[in-house]
Structure 1
Amino acid sequence: MTDTSVLHPGELSAADRTAWTAMQSKAHLHGAPELANPFLSPEFTLALGRYRRGVRIAVVREGGEPAAFFPHQRSATGVGRAIGLGVSDSQGLVHRPGFEWDARELLRACELAVWEFDHLTQGQAQGPFDPGVTGSFASPVIDTQDGYDAYLAHLRKNSPKFLKSTLAKERRLTRSVGELSYVHDERDPAALRTLMRWKSAQYRRTGRSDRFTQPWITGLVEHLFHTRTESFSGLLSVLYADGKPVAAHFGPRSERIISCWFPAYDPEFAKFSPGLLMHLRIAEAAAADGIAYIDLGRGQKQYKDSLKTREIMVSEGWMMRRHPVALGHWAHRAPVRALRNTVVERPELFEPADRLLKRIGEFRSGRFRM
């Protein structure tokens, strides 16, 4: 017999949290390795619940035992969003092997008219959520479970010019600035503040919206930085040249996956591509730690194409019940999302749009020249 209870984050019991983590830890053994993504962890959901309203966790039990966990956000009108929509890179249902569910029945149990997602995990887009999928997109990954030497061998075969030029820049950076050092798990909060400052400047420089002007995102990142359990931590990695930080990355990690979230570098050293050098160091440390892969995140970028070993797919869309709220939400959101995807997926549209955003960034920073 199946029973679904919808909990506030503070109502999740220690036993349920342990069961949730266990499902993630064993997911790769049951053919669903993507369920181990740190964005699907209880730690991420509970942290988000401190900074965003409407965070809920549906716990589905069979025979009294947890069979699935469905974290989501809910508005007063029943509009549901994937947990952390807009900042999370993996979304969906964490469940035990063989668990089956009806998506619309799940929404009804959660009192949701619609559930919107933009990074639905691979595997669930072809399952119960399939009717709501409007598009699927590649998320490049770096496989590290076979060791760093195997990864370098892959780069030599598939991206030889990239690897050669990147290693040459590493040598030039060492000669020009000083010896390089890398801290995989930096615990100095000042280094995190430096990363956020770099990232804010990058957003402004490229004409994007600065995420770190939103207090809830800053609060979430700082909270995750201080979160450390056996199965989850907020990982800050920093590359130094002569003791000075030149590139950094912050993102969540689980037992088997590191999610690339906020990478940035000091523009003063841009000609040396310190961000690429840092990614190679992250891959080396991840391999030594037994990490299966690094998820570089949805989106086509040249550096991701050079670094990746393969791709997984994530999907976006809306799962809806027959409800006027669902139709209203879809009518409001669908045209915006369709326009954005058309621009992003077509180079002849994306490139001029990207140039325009950068020009706007120059205006913002006072660097624009006629």
Structure 2
Amino acid sequence: MRVNVIRPAELGPDEVAAWREMQRSSPHLANPFLSPDFTIAMGEVHTGARVAVITESDGPVGFFPFERHGGGVGAALGGWVSLSQGVVHVPGAEFDSNTLLKECGLSVWEFGCMVDRQPWFQPFETLRQDAVVLDFADGYPAFLDELRERSPKFVKSTLYKERKLGRDVGEITSEFAVRDTEQFRLLREWKSAQYQRMGRPDRFARSWVVELTERLHAVDTPDFAGPLSMLYADGRPVAGHFGLRTDTMMIGWFPAYDPDYAKYSPGLIQHLHMVEAAAKIGVSSLDLGISNGSEYKDALCSRTVPVTEGIVRRRSAGAAAHWLRTAPVRRVRRFILDSPALYGAADRAMKRYGRLRTRGKAQ
């Protein structure tokens, strides 16, 4: 095994083609966040973005995107916003995590949403959760029929609210891939306001996230795209979603809606329209990420897939120092996540803080 660490922009056409073929050969690696397109876009907005090209005698057998930080510490590429991480590889590949990190110049590598079936990292997992997946390979009508069986009240309520929104406001329409940059800006404003209400960090407060999503929104190819899906009532935008897709899989990333229409649950209506449109172009699944008790994700769920977080550490002084800095904080976080009562209390506290912060800005 040979490892050559390069910047994403240095990937050649043959390497990109090999990367795509690896994703096609292993459907669990087809996530858009594991695509060369996301990696290249991250390289354009983050100076620490790197790719380890893993080769054997007959060519590339794997690609390992990562961020290089100071002191030999690395992280998953775009980990603050990425919902799928790991090594993209040929079927049956075997790697040694210690050797891989050493060749990358890393003593530590942190991951937060590791894709399934990465045995070389499994010993370093510290938390395992389930991501929600919607399956519609048989088309939208079949998906809706199955959804009615699993979640009849959810479907009945959502379709009723769509009809009521149409009666109260005007005709309901939707578009799967909106190219207009002003509507994309509107979606980001809705999402930033939602983060503030919930007391969560605003992803779009960081300029590199805005630049990254704008770059991805501009991409529209058969293999990869960043579609902005919008829902309209009487021609007015009321909900939307910005995500990524490959030719077979879409990821739920930034959903948001106009709070003036909250009583109609426009985000749920938008999701159903988006699934219908995605199915028509050949996309067969939508990954909504970790549920975290979300009622709408649980209602829509066809199946779940495991995702993990953890830290790979080599035996080194730098890795030991990193452990001393981070281990206590991670223990507290894990303790809270493992306790529904503590997690609920923390969630309510953040929402109260968000309401107070929003109220203070309004005054």
- Superposition TM-score, scaled by structure 2 size: 0.96
In structure 2, distance between residues paired with 1:174 and 1:160:
21
CA distance in 2: counterparts of 1:119 and 1:167, whole angstroms: 33
For the aligned residue pairs, the C-alpha RMSD in angstroms reads 1.4
* 1:102 aligned to which of 96, 113, 122: 96
- CA spacing shift, 1:338–1:250, aligned 2, 3 Å: farther
Query: Equivalent residue for 1:11?
Result: 10
Q: Which amino acid aligns with 1:15?
A: D
Kept after mapping to 2: 8 A contact 1:207/1:357: yes
Aligned counterpart for 1:198 among listed residues 190, 196, 199: 190
Report sequence identity in percent: 47
Matched to 1:18, the amino acid is A
- Answer whether contact 2:25 2:91 (CA < 8 A) is retained: no
Q: Which one of 223, 227, 234 corresponds to residue 231 of structure 1? A: 223
What is aligned with 1:43? 37
Instruction: Map 1:14-163 to 2 at 5 A.
Output: 14-27=13-26, 33-124=27-118, 127-163=119-155
CA deviations over 1:252-297 (Å, ceiling 9, x no partner): 1111111100000000000000000011111111222221210001
Question: Is this contact kept in 1: 2:291–2:298, CA < 8 A?
Answer: no
Aligned 8 A contact 1:199 1:263 in 2: yes
Query: SS of the counterpart of 1:208?
Result: coil
The one-letter code matched in structure 1 to 2:107 is: A
- The Cα of 1:345 is off from its aligned counterpart by 4.3
- Moved beyond 6 Å, runs of 4+: none
Counterpart of 1:30 in structure 2 is none
Structure 1 residue identity aligned to 2:154: F
Letter in 2 for 1:253: R
Query: In 2, distance between residues paired with 1:67 and 1:204?
Result: 43
Counterpart position of 1:273: 265
1:32-70 residue CA offsets vs partner (Å, 9 max, x unmatched): x22010000111011111111211111111114111101
Task: Tell me which residue corresponds to 2:332.
Answer: 339
Structure 2: distance between partners of 1:157 and 1:13: 48
Change (3 A) 1:220 1:240: same
| Aligned-partner Cα distance in 1 for 2:331–2:78 | 21
Letter in 2 for 1:13: G
Amino acid of the residue matched to residue 140 of structure 1?
Answer: V
Correspondence 1:322 to 2:309: no
Q: Deviations over 1:305-345 (max 9, x none)?
A: 01111100100001111012112223323333333343344
1:211·1:217 contact (CA, 8 Å) conserved in 2? Answer: yes
Q: Quickly say closer, same or farther: Cα 1:333–1:150, change in 2 above 3 A.
A: farther
SS in 2 for 1:251: strand
Contact 1:144 1:286 in 2 (8 A): no
For 1:233 and 1:92, the matched residues in 2 are separated by 20
Deviations along 1:162-201, whole A, 9 cap, x unmatched?
1111111111100000010010011111110000000010
Contact 2:176 2:277 in 1 (8 A): yes
Query: SS of the residue aligned with 2:71?
Result: coil
Give deviations 1:88-146, integer Å, cap 9, x for gaps. 0100000111111111111111111011101110111xx11111111110100100112
The CA distance in 2 between the partners of 1:203 and 1:341, in whole Å, is 22
What corresponds to 1:172 in structure 2? Answer: 164
Aligned to 1:360: 353
Q: How far 1:24 moved relative to its partner?
A: 1.1
Structure 1 position 258 matched with structure 2 position 257: no
Q: What whole-Å deviation, never above 9, does each CA across 1:210-254 have from its counterpart, x for those lacking one?
A: 111110111111111112233111111000010000000001111
One-letter amino acid of the counterpart of residue 74, structure 1 = R
Gaps of 5+ in 1: 28-32
1:213 equivalent to 2:193? Answer no
Q: Secondary structure at the match of 2:44?
A: coil
How far off its partner does 1:8 sit? 1.3
